[in-house]
Amino acid sequence: MSLGPIMLDLEGVELTPEERELLTHPGVGGVILFTRNFRSVDQLEALVLSIHELRSPRLLIAVDHEGGRVQRFRDGFTLIPAAGHIGQVYDQDPHRGRRLAELAAWVMAVELRAVGIDFSFAPVLDVDHGISKVIGDRAFHADPDVVTELGRAWIKGMHEAGMAATGKHFPGHGAVAADSHTDAPVDEREYRDIYAHDIVPFKRLVHTGLAGVMPAHVVYPKVDARPAGFSEYWLQEILRKRLGFQGVIFSDDLNMAGAAVGADTFAERAELARRAGCDMLLVCNNREGALEVVEHIGDPRDPVSHLRLARLHGRHEISRQQLHSMGKWQEAVATLEKYQDDPTLAFDF
């Protein structure tokens, strides 16, 4: 069975009978986990194993585990500093900032790999314009060149741990105040301004390690009337053709308010995203909507998307016992614990 184009969420800390059946549908290819799916590290590892046992090839398992405000699992996991704090370290010492980004990404990724999770939706490659609260310190910096440097270091750390990287939110969410989770953001800038600024990190990193890209639920009306995730222009003409991206394009969550622009039903949202070029559709926190998308998609059998998705399976299998005995992990965790939220610390790497 191939990997289908739908990524779903789960209700709790273990699979229900309904979820077991749903996850075997050929249209499903992955699961995204949230804090509600986490009670302990042992429980999480058992949940991941139960998902992997359902299918061959196994379903992809993902999580938003960027660090800072967006880190779904905490007890038993190392706290990862927000990207914006890493940017502050870079301003004091670029070498130390790059090293911290690589170290934090490696710890984040290797701890997730040790419980069987394939990848985290990271890094955030948005440029911080000082406008967006939902992005804010999730972005590394206000300078796209610095975002690129730290993004490259972050990707390197993820790869060393055996995890693929997904950059978000193409072509840039940082210049709008509205939150696409609850509103429909509109960015009134001209294409040339977006391309010369916000797209820079994506343009430079698509050939240096990005396996996935997630577009923003933002409308750029001077470019296209549809949100970027529903726009053939943004995804096909710019991301695929102009930038040459060959990896997986993920929709952002189709349950978000920003996904409702021009599409009332979940089936319509799914269809628009697929036509635009999304390989995998996220439908979260709305089981009725998820079932509507699953029924609409049916059995898609897309070998190109399947091959792209299969490359996201985690590598470098490692047990928690092996991880915790590694001197590198012990030293890295000690460094991050000293750092916490204080970017002024001058420890060595």
Tell me the CATH number at 182: 3.20.20.300
CA 84, CA 218: separation in Å to the nearest integer? 22
Residue 303, pLDDT above cutoff 60: yes
CA 300, CA 197: separation in Å to the nearest integer? 37
Q: Is there a domain that residue 187 lies in?
A: yes
Please, are residues 249 and 279 in contact by the beta-carbon 8 Å criterion? yes
User: What is the overall mean pLDDT for the chain?
Assistant: 93
Q: What is the pLDDT of residue 257?
A: 75
Sign of CA dihedral 310, 163, 63, 249: negative
Q: What is the pLDDT of residue 180?
A: 67
CA 4, CA 19: separation in Å to the nearest integer? 16
Q: What is the pLDDT of residue 344?
A: 64
Q: What is the pTM of this model?
A: 0.95
Work out the pLDDT band at 346, boundaries 50, 70, 90: low
Q: Is there a domain that residue 61 lies in?
A: yes
Q: Over pLDDT 90: what percentage of the chain? A: 84
Q: What is the pLDDT of residue 341?
A: 56
Residue-wise pLDDT for 233-291, tens only, equals 999 999 999 999 999 999 999 988 766 776 789 999 999 999 999 999 999 999 999 99
Sign of CA dihedral 12, 14, 17, 21: positive
Q: Is there a domain that residue 345 lies in?
A: no
The tokens describing 343, both together, are: 């970017």
Residue 183, pLDDT above cutoff 90: no
Per the listing, tokens 């394939």 go with 118
Spatial neighbors of 246 by CB under 8 A, at least 6 apart, are: 240, 308
List active site positions. 181, 252
Q: What is the pLDDT of residue 337?
A: 86
CA 114, CA 116: separation in Å to the nearest integer? 6
| Of residues 263 and 68, more confidently modeled | 68
Q: What is the pLDDT of residue 171?
A: 97
> What is the pairing mode between strands 119-120 and 165-170?
unpaired
Q: Is there a domain that residue 71 lies in?
A: yes
Domain count within the chain: 1
Phi and psi at residue 30, to the nearest 5°: -165, 170
Residue 333, pLDDT above cutoff 80: yes
Q: For residue 36, give its domain range.
A: 6-339
Residue 339, pLDDT above cutoff 80: no
Please, are residues 248 and 286 in contact by the beta-carbon 8 Å criterion? no
Q: Which of 239, 100, 113, 107 is nearest to 164 (CA)?
A: 113
Q: Is there a domain that residue 287 lies in?
A: yes
Q: Over pLDDT 70: what percentage of the chain? A: 95
What ranges in 161-264 are assigned the alpha helix state H?
191-196, 200-205, 232
Q: Is there a domain that residue 76 lies in?
A: yes
Q: Rounded mean pLDDT of 200-214? A: 95
Q: Which of 344, 332, 339 is nearest to 109 (CA)?
A: 332
Residue 65, pLDDT above cutoff 70: yes
Q: Is there a domain that residue 299 lies in?
A: yes
**3 state DSSP class of 201:** helix
The tokens describing 177, both together, are: 């105040």
